[in-house]
Structure 1
Amino acid sequence: MTDPQRPNNTGDFVTDARQELAGMLSDGLSHPSTKPVLVWGAVGAVAGAFLPFVSIGLGLAAGAGYKFYKRVRPE
């Protein structure tokens, strides 16, 4: 299925992730993926502050990484 929001979906995760990240870096907060990734990163950081053996940085990376992955591969 072709997503109209992703006309350049090649099926290769690395290529799609590079295109998504390049779009996020060039468009900033106007890119549709930037805000959800930042929000999930913040949620992960807060969760990391409360969970034992998990740092804030690890929580931030896990939250942002999860949402970025789900933006590239929504299935």
Structure 2
Amino acid sequence: MPNDNNLIDDATTEIKGMAREGMAHPSTKPVLTGAALGAVAGAILPVVSWPLGLVAGAGFMLYKRLRP
């Protein structure tokens, strides 16, 4: 396996860094952008609510930051 690190451990470290550094952290802006886009998509789609879209968008962008 090319990447032996655990995804959960990587995500925990990244989220703690984002919480500690705020907007200065390089992952904060892309994750917030993904959350906003997910919320808009969730508001537009009839089956998905905006909170679910927000979480899905933020989760997707965080995953893309961890595993490009």
TM-score (norm 1): 0.81
2:57 pairs with one of 63, 67, 72: 63
Aligned structure 1 segments of 4 or more residues deviating by more than 6 angstroms: none
Alpha carbons 1:45, 1:58 under 8 Å: kept: yes
* Structure 1 alignment gaps of length 5 or more: 1-8
User: Could you tell me whether the CA contact under 8 Å between 1:48 and 1:60 is conserved in 2?
Assistant: yes
Cα distance per residue 1:35-71 (max 9 Å; x no partner): 0000010001011111011101011011001001111
Higher helix share: 2
Question: Which runs of no fewer than 5 residues in structure 2 stay unpaired?
Answer: none
The equivalent position to 2:48 in structure 1, one of 48, 54, 64, is 54
1:9-59 per-position Cα deviation (integer Å, ceiling 9, x unaligned)? 861112111111110000000000000000010001011111011101011
**Corresponding residue pairs, total:** 66
- Other structure's SS at 2:26 match: coil
TM-score (norm 2): 0.89
- Is the 1:10–1:16 contact (alpha carbons within 8 Å) kept by the matching residues of 2? no
Q: Among the aligned pairs, what percent are the same residue?
A: 58
